[in-house]
Structure 1
């Protein structure tokens, strides 16, 4: 069964009708609207159905070539929705700004987002500072297709959730950075094998290469039989060089930080937020690729 997110994460009305009403009550925006009504020729703004849009590009095919100008009255609630909501993930300035820019525009957007994220108590409390460790192993050759090389790892154990889960198993595509994850009560070989087949292979096909750590949950007869029969090259990272499996190591760090921002104090409901955080990660622009993982994985 699907567990709904707690009711304190309500959606806000950002419909065109609401934006139109608020725009006409915003003195700065309304002055631009009046100017366009007198002289429609403006390289930066356009009126459409009496709603003010910011022109971002001249493309007729780009769905984000123009976005509505957000009134001041909606900026605070919009920042809360696009940063704090579980489907947005409590991410930093880069990801939050990239997500907003496809939907809205207002003057000094970057500064607004920077100030909001900097003042977010949950982010200040739980964000981690990443530093690259010395002695990185040489990176593996980049794959030529999505889901060709995948990384898999367990995160946990953590406090047992109300549903009995203590671990998260995470699979990351090397090329697109797309993540698939599931909450589990254990980290056994059987659970790992079942996740690989049921959640990945049956949906996305057989990868050419699987990279995991050398723990018994991955280095075992069951997974060896599966990878051998499907002609999957299974590579192991070693405990003193975990960077070999750095794709999931980085997401594990992100996941631990993000999920802590939504959980109740004893974290009994942490697995309720897992699908939303994975969604937020997959639909946010990745700093390495400059695209969202979803875009690269599925077009």
Structure 2
């Protein structure tokens, strides 16, 4: 409950997330403070943040809850074999890669169940810290990750995707040529968009997308039905290029690439379920020499 309160920054929302009433949650926090002998939460008419002691206690709380969950999972594996739930959060441009991880894993260990959420890179790190997910699939080399375990899986490279017949589809396109191209792109809170903006800036151009969306599917649906083009990683675009409606060409100058991989809590020992997932990710890695 204390972790939930720190995450939600609101007694009511924290109580809802834990399936209890607000008085029950408040009483539990007060009991924890009495046990520790310190005030953990600044109180007023509403939540006002954690005290310095509360900030330190939050680090311990996350560690204690994480270790307790890991112990339970490991004992269940000892009793039942590899089983349980794996919660993943994935950046939108890597959603088509998740099946590479889960398919082979699921065949070898059918008693493990997966849940997958689409989240931004920032949200993935926050959810890892708050114990809301077990692992994430995100960028490894573009923005700070903090203290996590990482396994590089592939190098993300970029293509221009447009409807068949678009005048720019005759060959590789330079980033600098995109200034006057009508585009639809992911929203600025997505790291992929920040990467694209960075390479456009390096090429000396600035673009204003006609449409912004948090979903690759939304972008592609607009490309199919209009003269708009979009910029996607090759792995995200492949599934949409199976038919004849869309085509892609590489984006060059620069021939940019960024590493995408699995991130997990930096904790030892890992649960057998999570350790097996990391091993699976290592077998998929094709970033040697990048």
TM bucket (normalised to shorter chain) is under 0.3
Structure with greater proportional helix content:
2
Q: Which has the higher strand share?
A: 2
* Higher RCO (C-alpha under 8 Å, 6+ residues apart): 2
TM-score w.r.t. the length of structure 1 is 0.26
